[in-house]
Structure 1
Amino acid sequence: MTTVSLIVPCHDAARTLRLCLESVLAQTRRPDEIVVVDDASGDDSAAIAAELGARVIRLPENRGVSAARNTGVDNTFGDVLFFLDSDVTLRPDAVENALAILERDPACGCAWGIYEPEPLIDDGPVEWYRILHAVNWGTRQTGEVTGVVFALAAIGRATFRETGGFDESLRDCEDIEYGHRLVERTRIVLTDTVRGRHDDGDRLLPILAEQWRRALPLIPLAVAAPGGSGGSGRRRVHANRPAGILACALAMASLPVGLLYPPALLVTAALLVVFALVDPPLLKLVHRHRGPAFTGYFMAVHFAVHVVLVTGLAVGCLRVRPGRKAKAATDAVSTES
């Protein structure tokens, strides 16, 4: 019988960890072991995990999610590793469904899931932006993909060992770097049968700062990626439409011209319309869940996020040797987070 080790990395996660672990205990296929790697928390995370019966491994200093996940792998025995973020709760059948995918298709070494369209804890409009955006891009890309997000993901231990551990030097984009290596060795499936509710960020400035940190290494990571990560029939995982990124970049570039020559602002306005309409399923999703007024707010935040993303990609491009920038920029747009 296949054994499953569920690994939860956490740092100061007391707000959500109890809900997270209670959802694990309610699984139709309960993991054979539950390990919480406490990454030098300053709150009661470790005590909560122990109270709920998880085995707790405490790191003496904060080393980041990559190190916490690697530590969890080194201290577990399961044939399948199920990684779960501490701010995510699983739908009761999530582990069972992930395991079924891996067992049904031996060529598939990793199955990961998407978020539900409601936040775990409702903290306001910015969080709703994040959640609905994530639901949209996850839903439209289900199937065989070229990347993975380890917020709720199952991977065979043998596949993980063959691929190697997470890069502990990365505090952001570790999933993207790992996915570049993983897709060279196995099939990766994004499925809507593995689902969870996420307590996402709820303040705009920290979210923009996070987007900046994530955008900077995207092009350098694309340059360093193995060459064959595309593959026939595989979808590249990207959180935002490449056409939307291009429309935003062109709008940003056209604005200075419009300030000097006001009629050119019509071009900027047209590009903003293109940006707003480039992803009809996203507009429909937001409108259905939150209504027309919130849809307008959503698109304003969405554009702000894109401005930061485009700027970060441009700065990241400066870190790449000139001869490799064009290919790297194309690859980064296809794998941005």
Structure 2
Amino acid sequence: MAEKPSDDRVTVSVVVPMYNDSRTIDLCLASVHAQSMPAHEVIVVDDASTDTSAASAARHPCLLVRADANGGPGASRNLGVRHATGEVIFFLDADVTMHPDAIRNAVRLLRGDEGYGAVFGVPDKEPLFAEGLVGQYRILQYHYWRKSAEGLVSGGFYALGAVTREAFDRAGWFNPALRQTEEIDHAERLSRSYPMLLTSQVRGRLSDESRMVPILRKAFRRSRLRVPFYLRRGRAMQGMETGGRAAAAVLAASTLLSVPAAVLFPPLALLTAALLGGFVASDLGQYVFVRRERGWGFVVFFTAAHLLMNTAVVAGLATGLLEWLLRPRFRSLYEEVVP
């Protein structure tokens, strides 16, 4: 049997979709060029930014590709892949930096006997920048959910993940019509032919939203758009979507809905407390982790923020289900022909 060439001979194309990321793009690209295994090429796709992102990216060794109009992450990644020549495509969002061994570890895993088509990374529990309370909540929650789901997954995390070109070509392009859920759609197609791994051997650090309203808006929108995907697929995604977290979402909405009744009729406060206790117990390890990292005071804030986010998720699912019943086009959202 012919011996495999060394990992260092594998060509890796790093594709960075970018839209108004002037705050982070320098750090992002610096982390790419600090890799222990250098990338074959770095392709930055400027998705019609209106800030100085493109000028900042142009100061780094990379191919800067400019989109004619803003098309969203899926369209940007497609455009980057069209210019890529590597055997492995490493997707990295412009607000994420990767650890120096990220490319090397990803290539090693992709070339192993397991036959992975994609490996996705786990973000650090520390943010890229100092954050306020909301930013800290988001980063800790993001880290814990991915860390606790390490192993085989069916959902994709393309903000920090590597895919073999062979697997990408077989799965097909990202659907540019899906502005918020293009990742789950693409990963679903990829997972039909290849196992996918979520692993902390590929690590990075990210900067996320630091205001509560945009986080809630995004949670609502994404959960709404996932309804036709879930109903078409017939099952939850392997990895982060556990039964306990599904129960937590329902308990969160029930807790907040019970508060007005408890104010009007104080004995019902016991029901509110019971619902809140069930909400925390449904994902208890998360709160143990947060207490260990930030202490009891932050656990209180984290719990309140997580209640709001889960309630937004339930509201999005309810809205999506109503749309699925009333709008045929919404039901066929994931059946669009991908260009």
- Normalization by structure 2: what TM-score? 0.88
Q: Deviations over 1:147-205 (max 9, x none)?
A: 11101000011111111111101111211122221211110100011010101100111
Q: Tell me what 1:214 maps to.
A: 222
Which residue of the other structure, out of 304, 325, 328, is the alignment partner of 2:308?
304
CA distance in 2, matches of 1:257, 1:12: 44
CA distance in 2, matches of 1:224, 1:17: 37
Matched to 2:96, the amino acid is V
Q: Tell me what 1:238 maps to.
A: 241
Contact 1:184–1:228 (CA under 8 A) maintained in structure 2: no
Contact 1:211–1:309 (CA under 8 A) maintained in structure 2: yes
Unpaired runs of at least 5, structure 2: 1-8, 332-339
Matches within 5 A, 1:4-15: 4-15=12-23
1:251 has 2:255 as partner: yes
CA distance in 1, matches of 2:135, 2:265: 38
Contact 1:90–1:197 (CA under 8 A) maintained in structure 2: yes
Q: 1:237 deviation in Å?
A: 3.2
Matched to 1:209, the amino acid is R
Q: Deviations over 1:31-69 (max 9, x none)?
A: 100000000111222222221111100112111111000
Which residue of the other structure, out of 232, 236, 259, is the alignment partner of 1:224?
232
Contact 1:35–1:57 (CA under 8 A) maintained in structure 2: yes
Q: Tell me what 2:278 maps to.
A: 274
Identity of counterpart residues, as a percentage?
Answer: 39
Q: Tell me what 2:112 maps to.
A: 104
Which residue of the other structure, out of 42, 60, 69, is the alignment partner of 1:34?
42
Unpaired runs of at least 5, structure 1: 323-327, 329-337
Matched to 2:296, the amino acid is P
Contact 2:148–2:240 (CA under 8 A) maintained in structure 1: no
Which residue of the other structure, out of 99, 113, 121, is the alignment partner of 1:113?
121
Contact 1:37–1:68 (CA under 8 A) maintained in structure 2: yes
1:139 has 2:147 as partner: yes
Which residue of the other structure, out of 149, 158, 182, is the alignment partner of 2:166?
158
Q: Deviations over 1:87-113 (max 9, x none)?
A: 001011011111110001352100001
Contact 2:250–2:311 (CA under 8 A) maintained in structure 1: no
Contact 1:180–1:229 (CA under 8 A) maintained in structure 2: no
Q: 1:11 deviation in Å?
A: 0.6
Q: 1:206 deviation in Å?
A: 1.1
Residues 228, 134 of structure 1: alpha-carbon distance in 2 compared, 3 angstrom cutoff: closer
CA distance in 2, matches of 1:269, 1:101: 46
Residues 217, 188 of structure 1: alpha-carbon distance in 2 compared, 3 angstrom cutoff: same
Q: Aligned pairs, how many?
A: 318
The secondary structure found in structure 1 opposite 2:197 is strand
The secondary structure found in structure 2 opposite 1:319 is helix
CA distance in 2, matches of 1:150, 1:169: 17
1:95 has 2:99 as partner: no
Q: Tell me what 1:292 maps to.
A: 296
Contact 2:230–2:236 (CA under 8 A) maintained in structure 1: no
> Which stretch of the first structure deviates more once superposed, 199-208 or 236-245?
236-245
CA distance in 2, matches of 1:252, 1:119: 29
Q: Tell me what 2:87 maps to.
A: 79
Q: 1:130 deviation in Å?
A: 0.5
1:45 has 2:50 as partner: no
> Which stretch of the first structure deviates more once superposed, 310-319 or 7-16?
310-319
Q: What is the Cα-based RMSD across aligned positions, in Å?
A: 2.0
CA distance in 2, matches of 1:181, 1:245: 27
Matches within 5 A, 1:179-194: 179-194=187-202
Residues 276, 106 of structure 1: alpha-carbon distance in 2 compared, 3 angstrom cutoff: closer
Contact 2:152–2:239 (CA under 8 A) maintained in structure 1: no
Q: 1:124 deviation in Å?
A: 0.9
Q: Tell me what 1:317 maps to.
A: 321
Matched to 1:208, the amino acid is L
The secondary structure found in structure 2 opposite 1:185 is coil
The secondary structure found in structure 1 opposite 2:240 is coil
Contact 1:83–1:151 (CA under 8 A) maintained in structure 2: yes
